[in-house]
Amino acid sequence: MRNYFVIYLILAVSCSQPTKNRGDLSKVDSLALEQAEINGLLANEGLQRCQWFVMDWLAKADSTTGLIPRNLDESLDIWNAQDAAADNYPFMVLTAALTDQNLFKGRMLDMLRMETQLTSRLGNLPDTYSFRKKGFDSEEYDLFKLLFGASEYIKDGLLPLTEWLGPSPWSERMVTILDDIWKYAPFETAYGNIPSTNVELNGEMLQVLSRVYWMTGEGKYLEWAIRLGNYYLLGDQHPTRNFEILRLRDHGCEIVSGLCELYATLSLADPAKKEAYQPHIHEMLNRILAVGRNEDGLFYNAVDPVNGVVQWEGTADNFGYTLNGFYTVFQIDSVEAYRKATVKALEILNQKYRNYDWENGSADGYADAIEGALNLYAREPLSSTRDWIESEIQVMWSLQDSSHRKNAQKWKGSGIIEGWHGDGNFARTTIMYCLWKTQGLSVQPWRSDIELGAVTIDNGIILSLKADKDWTGILRFDAPRHRTIMQMPADWPRINQFPEWFTIDPKKVYEIRDMTNGMSTKYKGTQLLEGIEFTLGKGAKYAIRVLPI
């Protein structure tokens, strides 16, 4: 049993007396606290929206298996790995982990067990399941489809879950699937067998293997990743030297950031191999900068990289995914052009891309664009990028209850966004946004009337907390998860991660001070990471400063 520690706050800031109690605060502290309160309102709304999404999708689950269908307008009869499992279900799990522990430990876990039992077809590789047939949708399996669905499930769903939850039944499922992807990898190359020649699948594998290598410490994952790195960088499959078409949006851009993730891993795990890859990585990135961007520094959907011809006009909503790779290589090799490319794209968003039609009015386009900006904003905190994120999250949220969204009339009054598997990305990005607004803090048990918001100030944070009814629970602080969970030596930007904001060093001591009466308590970092017991009085506001000592 965990040993929790109690904060005794003698004086709360009464909702009816905000001016009197804030009179003793400095102007800087007062402004920070006002922003923390606003952040609490925003985080509260975001988490409620995620709950609505979860509950209304669960109402559409198959009555026998409990699994959710792929989509609600079509494919209502099937569960599949690359869509239902990869894009939708994982962010129901994460929503439940943050807002409803009973749902998280109950139905969400039951769904994982049922999916594992019913859909594992070739070893641990999942196949499409038909609710009507009460079995697999096809009589024979297609190995490529198995491998592709498994890769999607891991990269888009199980890996982000693992980066937040840590070791869990979901991480166990991830590793068993990953091992079988490579057990059955059928495509022979001069460097060893790989799962496919599909750039999306292989790009996802590069990302997954690079992270799982650090997480487990097992060399086989790095060896498999190097097979792919050799295939694309040392052979005749170089993305910008040999590809006739290079997609710089999803379903293709994964290869760019995947190769950069492997490059980052090798810079510490195998420096000699990193040096061998360096000219080929730089060639790829330099060519993309030369022919892959519009005048604003954002990426076209697809280009012919050899001839420098745009193959698919339009601006990729996944710009952040590709820029992750650029920024990672900047961090390793100090190529300033790669940082400048990132900053240029971030700076233009608020000028020209507010309320932009990323994906023909779909919330999924906003989700991917905002995610990319948030992840890079954590590294380059530009005020204009912040303003754009604040504007566009409101646009995305409005699509949950707006007449402008797809299938609006059908889902009127529902938490369902558009009725397809992309709805999960709405929740994924909303959770990323909410964790920014709380600086990674969370409460258990969560309630819809609790408002927790935070802002950074100096080298600490100021918290605002309130509840409409009495509440006692646990206040949890965030850890440097890239290190504590993933065992990674550095926090380079990566697709679908949950950025780290205010993280606790277990070796430090922290002061938690009631800003209204000056009373303070000291805690070890390990105590804050375990969670501290906290009591909120009905209708009271709490203003707290947290600083390392």
Number of C-beta neighbours around residue 289 at 10 A: 16
Mean local confidence (pLDDT), 283-287: 98
Enter the tokens of residue 363: 């919330």
**Angle at CA 211, nearest 5°, toward 205 and 217?**
115
Distance CA 60, CA 72 (A): 8
Which pLDDT belongs to residue 6?
30
Cα–Cα distance list, 17 to 264, 337, 458, 470 (Å): 53, 52, 27, 18
Tokens 């969400």: give the residue.
108
**Residue 261 near residue 502, CB atoms below 8 Å:** no
| pLDDT for 438 beyond 80 | yes
Which pLDDT belongs to residue 455?
98
**Angle at CA 74, nearest 5°, toward 411 and 137?**
140
Query: 485-509 pLDDT, tens per residue?
Result: 999 999 999 999 999 999 999 999 9
Which pLDDT belongs to residue 9?
32
Distance CA 468, CA 539 (A): 5
Strands annotated E in 81-230: 120-122, 125-126, 129-130, 135-136
Tokens 């709360």: give the residue.
12
DSSP-derived pairing of the beta strands 125-126 and 120-122? antiparallel
Q: With CA atoms as reference, report the closest residue to 320 among 375, 261, 250, 393.
A: 375
Q: Which of the 8 DSSP states describes residue 389?
A: H
pLDDT grade for 26, boundaries at 50, 70 and 90:
confident
Write down the domain spans for the chain: 5-36+447-548, 61-184
| pLDDT for 75 beyond 90 | yes
pLDDT grade for 3, boundaries at 50, 70 and 90:
very low
Number of C-beta neighbours around residue 180 at 10 A: 19
DSSP-derived pairing of the beta strands 129-130 and 135-136? antiparallel
3-class DSSP assignment, residue 461: strand
Amino acid making up residue 216? T
**Residue 348 near residue 311, CB atoms below 8 Å:** no
More confident residue, 360 or 542: 542
Which pLDDT belongs to residue 205?
98
Which pLDDT belongs to residue 517?
83
Give the pTM: 0.94
Distance CA 69, CA 421 (A): 9
Q: With CA atoms as reference, report the closest residue to 16 among 539, 545, 548.
A: 539
Distance CA 25, CA 430 (A): 32
Distance CA 8, CA 521 (A): 9
- Counting residues of the chain whose pLDDT is more than 70, the rounded percentage is 94
| pLDDT for 328 beyond 50 | yes
3-class DSSP assignment, residue 486: coil
pLDDT grade for 20, boundaries at 50, 70 and 90:
very low
Q: What is the CATH number of domain 5-36+447-548?
A: 2.60.40.1180
pLDDT grade for 74, boundaries at 50, 70 and 90:
confident
Amino acid making up residue 516? T
Distance CA 306, CA 301 (A): 16
Q: Which helix (H) or strand (E) holds 314?
A: strand 309-315
Cα–Cα distance list, 298 to 100, 109, 247, 366, 486 (Å): 39, 40, 13, 15, 30
Q: With CA atoms as reference, report the closest residue to 311 among 364, 250, 246.
A: 246
Q: With CA atoms as reference, report the closest residue to 194 among 218, 223, 221, 228.
A: 228
Distance CA 263, CA 126 (A): 30
Tell me the β-bridge partners of 303: 246, 310
Which pLDDT belongs to residue 408?
65
Q: With CA atoms as reference, report the closest residue to 298 among 352, 236, 256.
A: 352
Cis peptide before 18 (omega within 30 of 0): no
Burial class (CB in 10 A: 0-12, 13-18, 19+), 223: middle
| pLDDT for 11 beyond 50 | no
Query: 347-396 pLDDT, tens per residue?
Result: 999 999 999 999 988 999 999 999 999 999 999 999 999 999 999 999 99
pLDDT grade for 261, boundaries at 50, 70 and 90:
very high
Dihedral through CA 33, CA 37, CA 38, CA 40, nearest 10?
Answer: 130
Greatest alpha-carbon span in the chain: 74
